[in-house]
Structure 1
Amino acid sequence: MTDITMYTAQGCSYCNAAERLLRTRGVDQLNKIRVDLEAGKLEEMMTRSGRRTVPQIFIGSLHVGGFDELSRLDREGRLEPLLRG
């Protein structure tokens, strides 16, 4: 399965929803980066994604976006092929 990185923060309901969706699709290894706890990670996320809000999800090097984009990929049947690499 492809490496998945999710920039997240405590209390983020969209982050929790994204993680639940990924888990239901068989993701057991998720690299979660807490932008609210780790110095410099918010800036890193903004540089990588061009966005300021969490979650920001990367499947391999592909920037998927946030929960809405992740959910859309799933509804369109395009998420699982990305997860398999």
Structure 2
Amino acid sequence: MGSNNGKNSSEATEAVQKEIASEKVVVFSKTYCPYCANTKKLLSSSGVSAKIIEINLEPDQGKMTQAALLSLTSQRTVPNIFIGGKHVGGDDAIQNLARTGGLKPLLEEAGVPNII
């Protein structure tokens, strides 16, 4: 790995961490992903405002973002969801939280105004 790749990787990781810290709910998504659509629908129908980052809209940056997410979370797939700076997981995880009543307390802990 050349030093330029290391720098890009490091910058991508920093950019991802900055995004996660900038909002209470962040979803790394792809526009064509049905699981991402499920997650966005759940959040929207729950009255939760989330920052959605569609990583496929910038192919080169998106690949670096996906690699950074993998190194931060051990999860390469999308959606990759963060609430209050904490990694929640993907669509299965957030749907399960919603079903079992765990989503509302997580949102409240993060200071997210919600209407669940």
TM-score by length of 1: 0.86
Per-residue deviation at 1:4?
Answer: 0.5
Which structure's relative contact order is higher, taking Cα pairs within 8 Å and 6+ residues apart?
A: 1
Partner of 2:44: 23
- After the TM superposition, which segments of 4 or more aligned residues of structure 1 sit over 2 Å from their partners? none
CA distance in 2, matches of 1:75, 1:20: 14
Larger proportion of helix: 2
TM superposition score normalised by structure 2: 0.65
2:73 maps to which residue? 49
How many pairs does the alignment contain?
83
Larger Rg: 2
- Cα separation, 2, equivalents of 1:41 and 1:3: 19
Counting aligned pairs with the same residue, the percent is 36
Deviation at 1:70, TM superposition (A): 0.4
Instruction: Give 1:57 shift.
Output: 0.4
Which residues of structure 1 form unaligned runs of 5+? none
User: Alignment partner for residue 8 of structure 1, among 9, 29, 36?
Assistant: 29
